[in-house]
Amino acid sequence: MSNFLQPTILLLKDGTDTAQGKQHLIGNINACSFVVDTIRTTLGPRGMDKLINTGRYSTVSNDGATILDLLDIVHPAARTLVDIAKSQDAEVGDGTTTVVILAYELLKQAKKYIEDDVHPKIIIKSYRQAAQLCLKRIDEIAVKIDTTDKDKSLEMLEKCAGTALNSKLIASYKEFFSKIVVKAVTNLDQELLDLDLIGIKKVSGGAMQDSLFIDGVAFKKTFSYAGFEQQPKKFIKPKIALLNVELELKSEKTGAEVRIEDPQEYQSIIDAEWDIIYKKLDTIVKAGANVVLSRLAIGDLATQYFADRDVFCAGRVPEEDLNRLSKATGKQIQSTVSKLTHEMLGECDLMEEKQMGKERYNILSGFPHKSTSTIILRGGAEQFLNEMERSLHDSIMIVKRAIKNNTIVAGGGAIEMELSRYLIEHAKKIFGKEQILIEAFAKALEITPKQLAENAGFDAMAILNKLRKEHADPNPDKMWIGVDIDNEDVCDTFKTFVWEPSLIKRNAINAATEAACLILSVDQTVKNPNSSEEQNKQIQQQKQMLRPTRGARF
């Protein structure tokens, strides 16, 4: 038989980069390690912060999702860790660093078995089985809080809020801020718990403890004209008009044309414009409004008109603040004033303008519907205020989840050690490769207490050995033993009030397992940068063809 040369078959375009096989999978795991090494030191009460400079802005943060997003990671596998951090932040609000570290530790444990030619699908199956066992165990041991007792319920929420703030820049004032956070969340409609109704404003200057909780709505003084200073700045029981109406004289658009026979008619056109604006202003005042707030501009004529009649006005009020006012007053924002009546006006107990640092704030409080509140943060640098806002957001999310899901577990690595012990006990009853893989999952869970101890400067191995010894004791009182950050030892973290909603741990284990399984299931990556470049070039050519040339006639 004659031998024929096999023809070369090109399936992919020139320049396409492909990677596959065991080494590719290990490379993906190694890429994730560089991401995790960046944020692992931020975990826990003694975690460090990261300063990220993006050229124009600098950000100081220890929030995992924020750091990973600012790093702008492009590696496809490593991007998975960014996505799970964002999902944890959106769903629960806290535990973003924990979920990323746990996901990588699961990959790290799987790496040695992949090198020994264990099929990734067996690892994935075992990991998912272990995750389900963990979720079942959390449900069994989680402590339910009696929500019928209001005092105990508030105490539980404050402890959960304080635990979320333990690792933040404002940890030294966690008792002060946890009370503010709980007040803000409990003020909301308990069925909806819409966090958009909690306003957070930042005012530079002052100390952290100068921060304020306002049972109502506050917004920074808007742009104003000269007549504004003649208006009253304090009202008791004011009537509030919420508008989406422009109250100023507007010149006609360029190119408008009006044909008149008699020059005297020109004055009637000018008078008509003034009549329109005055009619609007008269209607507002006759309706009985003391405070006029509009999303659109209020001009100098209207400002002076209101000042002469002791009415306060503010134009270009931020939309989110106007919506919160609508919710608090129970009145709709009006898009016309032609039929404005007294019944359409909202009311509150007090409206006043206060000086805060170099800013002036309009504060409205004492609404009939307690459904919104505002937190005004004080502090030094802008980066510090931004981190305070991120910290409070995490704490607010935790309190919301604690209200929705009133079961808690102890933090400080206690729940992870208990789950690790439980999985090891379960693995002894299983035959085959699943046994060692479930044990690998159990070992990965130990990363949380280990990292907490390392970040606090403790001997991590000594602390971990103590925790293993305590959790090996069948006594149920030893179930909540975790890392004692204050005394470089172990302690019952449930008794020291290091509490977290069980939902955090459930979501973290679920998300970390899914991320690890996703990366383990990928055995080939195809990258073709030329395809995207050519696609962009075609789009630009199409736009160029559709754009008319200068001087063209149609």
Query: Which residue among 96, 163, 303, 513 is the active-site one?
Result: 96
d(CA 482, CA 500): 13
Give yes or no: 69 in active site. Answer: no
CA pair distance 299, 247, nearest whole angstrom: 6
In the annotation, is 72 catalytic?
Answer: no
Question: How many CB atoms are located within 10 Å of the residue 406 CB?
Answer: 18
Give the integer Cα–Cα distance in Å for 442 and 292: 61
The label of the residue with tokens 């063209």 reads 552
Instruction: Provide long-range contacts, Cβ within 8 A and 24+ apart, for 13-18.
Output: 13/528, 13/530, 13/531, 14/530, 15/528, 15/529, 15/530, 16/526, 16/527, 16/528, 16/530, 17/526, 17/527, 17/528, 17/529, 18/524, 18/525, 18/526, 18/527
394 is catalytic: yes
The residue behind tokens 């070369």 is 8
Report whether 416 contacts 446 (CB < 8 A).
yes
Q: Which of 89, 94, 321, 394 is catalytic?
A: 394
Tokens of 303: 């400002």
| Residue from 330, 333, 328 nearest 365 by CA | 328
Q: Is 97 a catalytic residue?
A: yes
Sign of dihedral through CA atoms 59, 63, 66, 69? Answer: positive
Query: E-assigned strands of 324-365?
Result: 346-347, 350-356, 359-365
∠282-285-289 over CA atoms, to 5°? 150
291-294/239-243 β-pairing = parallel
Calculate ∠ Cα 549-551-552, nearest 5°.
Answer: 60
In terms of Cα–Cα distance, which of 66, 92, 103, 67 is closest to 160?
92
User: Burial, 519: exposed, middle or buried (Cβ in 10 Å; 0-12, 13-18, 19+)?
Assistant: buried
Do 414 and 479 meet the contact criterion of CB atoms below 8 Å apart?
yes
- Decide: 399 and 160 in contact? Cβ < 8 Å: yes
Rg of the Cα atoms in the chain: 31
Structure tokens at 82: 């960014």
Q: Choosing from 42, 66, 80, 97, which is the catalytic residue?
A: 97
The single residue of 59, 63, 94, 98 carrying the catalytic annotation is 63
Query: Tokens standing for 80?
Result: 């998975």
Catalytic residues: 63, 96-97, 394
